[in-house]
Amino acid sequence: MTNYAIAIHGGAGTIDQSLLTPELAAAYHAGLAEAIARGAAVLADGGSALDAVTAAVVALEDCPLFNAGKGAVLNADAGHELDAAIMEGTSLGAGAIAAVTRVRNPILGARLVMERSGHVLMAGAAAERFLTAEGMELVAPDYFTTPERLEQLRRVQAEGRGMLLDHDAQSVTNPSVTDRAVADKTGTVGAVALDSQGRLAAATSTGGMTNKRPGRVGDTPVIGAGCYADDATAAVSSTGTGEAFIRAVAAYDVAAQMAYAGRSLAAAAEEVVMTRLPRVGGQGGLIAIDRTGAIVMPFNTGGMYRGYLRAGGEIVTAIHR
């Protein structure tokens, strides 16, 4: 049997079960399953891990349930600033974009930076000019806005809660209300994959934190913090309080422990998420896959939207423990 595998996440946070109606939970599971299916189809056809994680994250960016692309959270000025990164583990090629406002699928922008710019990270309006010159069509900023996100921002600002992880914005809502408008709170998205040629890749995309300061950039586009891949060790995609993931160099730390200390993927990921991140106030989780196809998805929050598929197996999705 051809060996391949893919895992995805849709963010980690409080994810209050009292707000998650059966209908809404089903919608999340369906969104996760669709993203996995898109990526797995690439792998089943002999495609690359890089193409698989791209396809999976595009699906998550297009689903307004998740905080990336359409339906991304709003900053303190009620605007969108989107970040994304992608990395392949064979040559350690990587690309990222930060604080863009008109890129419909930020992960496609990150991939263009990797493949055509000669750089790793580009930001803001200049990044968008480069992408336009490379043939990418931009969208109006309001493409990303949904009524639910506007309501979420207003509620967070009215409560004076500062910046919040998207899932944790649930805590500001009225717990007696369980409609989609208040329960639709998800976070950073990402994917990791191993293809039949033994290549690894990772991709991460986000709208950031609700009510963040304009200009704030988190871990997602920082290679080694929110995204990392090396065929010799693992592919990793992170989600959570970005500042802590940057300070811990979280995604790279998993691979480094494997390379330099000989630790297993499971042990390395557990150490990062449960010990090293909490030391700097880090909440969240990560997904990772190694060159053998082992998958781990640890998180130190109430839940993490996640799922995976291995060759010959069935799609598995989960939200809480």
Q: Does the annotation list 189 as a binding residue?
A: no
Instruction: Tell me which of 146, 188, 210, 220 is the catalytic residue.
Output: 188
Q: At 288, which amino acid appears?
A: A
Q: Does the annotation list 79 as a binding residue?
A: no
Q: Does the annotation list 13 as a binding residue?
A: no
Q: Does the annotation list 241 as a binding residue?
A: yes
Alpha-carbon distance of 306 to 24, in angstroms, equals: 15
Q: Does the annotation list 207 as a binding residue?
A: no
Q: Does the annotation list 90 as a binding residue?
A: no
Q: Does the annotation list 71 as a binding residue?
A: no
Specify whether the CB–CB gap between 70 and 59 falls below 8 A: no
Q: Does the annotation list 219 as a binding residue?
A: yes
Has 188 been annotated as catalytic? yes
Instruction: Pick out the residues of the known binding site.
Output: 216-219, 239-242
Instruction: Pick out the residues of the known binding site for substrate.
Output: 216-219, 239-242
Q: Which residues form the catalytic set?
A: 188
